[in-house]
Amino acid sequence: MYGLQIQKLIVKKDLLDNPIDKIKLLQQAIGLADTHQDVEWAINLRLELMEEELDTVQSHRSLEALSWIVGAYEQDSSVVDETSFLWQYKWVLDRVITNPNISATQRDAIVTDFSMRFQRNNYSLRPLYENYFGFYDYFGIQEKAQEYRDLRNQAGNDEMTDCPACELDTSVEYFINFENIEKAKAEAQDILNGKLSCNRIPIRTLARLTMALAKENKLEEAKVFFDEGMKNLEAKGFRESDFKHTLEFAYYLSKTDNAEAWKLLEPHYPKQQPDDFMRYRLAITMLGILKNTSLSQIKAQFPDWVSFYQSTHEYDKTTLEKAYYEEAKAIGEKLAARENLPAIATHLAHTLATL
């Protein structure tokens, strides 16, 4: 009987578009599977939940789901093939590395467990190196970024390796941060000409290039990437997980048509509170948009989870700037303390100076 109930929930879920709504139904189905101690259903449903959460701005459910699956495997290795959840482990690992609320001890334990499971199944640690490359790349720590880029490039390719488009995009960010925009564009050619793509690319690359050019006030050149990026965002339905890129396109608009920037970001602002690292990124880009906004009073529809929410939807620009700055500063300092890297704490000030 419960199996039929689960199947009905899955059918209902498949008719929905919003991943949050899908997750709610999957959680109901997981509850049924757990109640009836049906481990096979419980594992498959959790794997599906992790897939859906990728299109949101949160990851805590995925971490919980993976922990449950690993626990079930450790109790009885016959219930699931270990390789069937290693791909999802990659996604969780990325969020673990960037989550300041996970201690260094916890992070190291997860990295060790990840490495052990990959290596005993004859997979390389290339995804781990890619995650760390992206982490240090983002924060502008060149020596560490270079170290992990070299480790990534030296590691073997296999079916668990991130796709070529994603790996190339991380290298594009490296050239933006440590070389120049012309070298970044040259590096990105296989993405820009459509030779390499995936579920996340080219949106991410187009957003990177648009914002980098807009920061240098090369607005005509940025428009080419902006227009293409907007087409791709629309084709993907402005996924919540893409909001950080929507904001990067809005930053370009904040310099060309400021009112349009706010029209773009308002309807797509996440309805649920994102993970801390996502909020850090959002705060920085919002500070750039606010810098380019001449109005001292701003009328905008923000979700009620933001710390500065007003039911009147009317805000002082200085109030917004203070709120975003303090949020980014707190998250950056927490991450810097965990990593024992002062460069992370100074990343905020350095980045704001370039906006």
Instruction: Annotate 207-255 with DSSP letters as a single string.
Output: HHHHHHHHHTT-HHHHHHHHHHHHHHHHHTT--GGGHHHHHHHHHHHHH
The pLDDT of residue 96 is above 90: yes
Sign of CA dihedral 148, 150, 156, 160: positive
* Nearest alpha-carbon partner for 300 in 327, 264, 251: 264
Q: What is the spatial distance between Cα 58 and Cα 240, in angstroms, rounded to a whole number? A: 10
Asked whether the beta carbons of 158 and 90 are under 8 A apart, the reply is no
The pLDDT of residue 1 is above 90: no
* pLDDT tens-place string over residues 175-213: 999 999 999 999 999 999 999 999 999 999 999 999 999
Share of the chain above pLDDT 90, in %: 100
* Nearest alpha-carbon partner for 241 in 339, 95, 103, 344: 95
Share of the chain above pLDDT 70, in %: 100
Q: What is the pLDDT of residue 25?
A: 98
pLDDT band at 43 (very low <50, low <70, confident <90, very high): very high
Q: What is the spatial distance between Cα 202 and Cα 277, in angstroms, rounded to a whole number? A: 22
The pLDDT of residue 159 is above 90: yes
Cα 84 to its chain centre, rounded Å, is: 23
Report residue 298 as tokens.
């701003």
CATH class in words for 1-123:
mainly alpha
Residue 124 exposed, middle or buried by CB count within 10 Å (0-12, 13-18, 19+)? middle
Phi, psi torsion values for 115, nearest 5 degrees: -60, -45
* Nearest alpha-carbon partner for 269 in 249, 248, 244, 295: 244
Q: What is the spatial distance between Cα 275 and Cα 58, in angstroms, rounded to a whole number? A: 5
Cis amide prior to 270 (ω within 30 degrees): no
Residue 162 exposed, middle or buried by CB count within 10 Å (0-12, 13-18, 19+)? buried
The ranges of the chain annotated as CATH 1.25.40 are 1-123
Mean of per-residue pLDDT scores for the chain: 98
Q: What is the pLDDT of residue 299?
A: 97
